[in-house]
Amino acid sequence: MKEVKAFAPATVANVACGFDILGFAVDSPGDEIEMKLVDKPGIVIKDITGDEGRLSRNPRENTATVSVYQFLEKIGAEKAGIEVTLHKKMPFGSGLGSSSASTVAGAFAVNALFDNPLSMEELLPFAMEGERVACGAAHADNVAPALYGGFVLVRSYDPLDVVRLNVPEELCCAVVHPHIEVSTKDARNILRGEVPLADAVRQWGNVGGLIAGLEQENYDLIGRSLQDVVVEPIRSMLIPGFDEVKRAAVYAGSMGTAISGSGPSVFSLCKGMEKAERIANAKVEAFKAIGIDSDKFVSKVNKEGPKIIY
C-alpha cells in the first residue's frame, strides 16, 4: 500500500514588529507524520510519539488529521482508508507554532498520498482549519509560513490575503525555548485594546522597513526594523529575564531579538549559522543565570516549507 512520511517546520510568528501579520519558517525543529493508504475506510491514528499523551487520538479532534476529512471530501475520496502516525518533535506551548507544524504536516502528507491534486495555496484553508481546532481561531501567521516556507505576510484575514516575501540567503535564526509556561490565551488577554497612535506609527514604520529589508536583501535595515514598541513591552513581562536574554543576544551579534509568537520562546535573527550558534548559547546562559533551563534551536530561515521524507 502507498505510504509517505512528511516533515513540516516550526515557525516564528509576529517577528517583532509584525504582530498578527508576519511569520517565518525554520529548518528545525518540526513535526513528522507517516500516512499509509489501507483497505479499511476511515482515518485511524495508529500512534503519536513525543506528545507525552497530551494529544487526542481521535482523528476528528487531532490538529494533524482534522483537515484530512475535508481534504478527502474535496477530492472525492471520502471512502479512503488512512493510517496515521504523528511524531511530535517540538515542544508544546513554546510559541513555535507546534500545532501549525502538525496540521501542515497532515495536510501536506495526505496531498502527497494522492499525488498532489492541490497546490499549496489550495491547501492553506485546510491547514487553517486544523489550526482552528487547536487554537479556537483560524490564524494564518504560523500555518502559512509552515506551509509555504520562508517569510510570509498575512496582509488581511477578510478576505484572506497571504503574500510570500523574499528571504535573504544567509538569514539565520537562533531560538531559545525557556522551560516556563505562557498560555496563548493569557498572552493575548494582557494586551491593551487600544494603542497610542504614535506607537502604531513607529510599528508600521518598522513593518515597512522589515519588508523592504527582506525584499532588498538589506541585512542592516532588517536589523534596524526588528523592534516591537506595541506588544513586547507588555508580553515580555510574562517571560522572566527577557531583558537580560535580549541584551545577551545583542552582545552575541543578534540583528534583532524578540518574542516568538506569544512566547515564551525568544528568537534572534542574524547573518550566518556560526553567529546563530553563538547567540543561542548566550541566551541559554542568560536564562540559566536566573535558574531557567531552556532548549535551543539553531537553523537557517527555511525556504522550502514542508517536505516528503519518503
Q: Under the criterion CB under 8 A, does residue 267 sit at the interface with its own copies?
A: no
Catalytic residue among 184, 194, 215, 277: 184
Q: Which of 41, 42, 117, 208 binds its own copies (CB under 8 A)?
A: 208
Tell me whether residue 181 or residue 204 sits nearer to its own copies (CB atom): 204
Per CB under 8 A, contacts with its own copies among 118-157 are 153-156
Beta-carbon count within 10 A of 170 CB: 14
Tell me whether residue 51 or residue 215 sits nearer to its own copies (CB atom): 215
Q: Please say if 129 is a catalytic residue.
A: no
CB 68 within 8 A of CB 82: yes
Burial degree of 111 (CB within 10 A; 0-12, 13-18, 19+)? buried
Grid coordinates in use for 67? Answer: 483537515
263 assigned to a ligand binding site: no
262 assigned to a ligand binding site: no
Residue 272 gets which letter from DSSP?
S
Shortest Å, Cβ 210 to its own copies:
8
Query: Left, alpha or beta for 112 (phi > 0: left; psi -120 to 50: alpha)?
Result: alpha
Tell me whether residue 178 or residue 209 sits nearer to its own copies (CB atom): 209
Residue 281 to residue 295: CA distance in whole angstroms:
10
101 assigned to a ligand binding site: yes
Q: Under the criterion CB under 8 A, does residue 296 sit at the interface with its own copies?
A: no
CB 251 within 8 A of CB 268: no
Per CB under 8 A, contacts with its own copies among 160-179 are 161, 163, 165-166
260 assigned to a ligand binding site: no
Q: Under the criterion CB under 8 A, does residue 289 sit at the interface with its own copies?
A: no
Residue 229 to residue 17: CA distance in whole angstroms:
7
What's the start-to-end Cα distance of the chain, in Å?
A: 14
Q: Under the criterion CB under 8 A, does residue 205 sit at the interface with its own copies?
A: yes
Which helix (H) or strand (E) segment holds residue 234: the answer is helix 232-235
- Residues 6+ positions from 11 with CB-CB distance below 8 Å: 23, 24, 25, 26, 96, 97, 100, 101, 141, 142, 145, 146, 261
Shortest Å, Cβ 158 to its own copies:
9
Per CB under 8 A, contacts with its own copies among 221-260 are 221, 224-225, 230
91 assigned to a ligand binding site: yes
Q: Which of 53, 76, 193, 291 binds its own copies (CB under 8 A)?
A: 193
Catalytic residue among 65, 131, 232, 257: 131
Q: Under the criterion CB under 8 A, does residue 273 sit at the interface with its own copies?
A: no
The one-letter amino acid at 47:
D
Shortest Å, Cβ 27 to its own copies:
23
Q: Please say if 49 is a catalytic residue.
A: no
CB hemisphere CA count around 204 (13 angstroms): 7
96 assigned to a ligand binding site: yes
**What's the chain's Rg over C-alpha atoms?**
19
Specify binding-site residues: 91-101
Binding-site residue numbers for ATP are 91-101
Contacts with its own copies, residue ranges (CB under 8 A): 17-22, 153-156, 161, 163, 165-166, 191-197, 200-209, 211-212, 215-216, 221, 224-225, 230
Which residues are tagged catalytic?
A: 131, 184
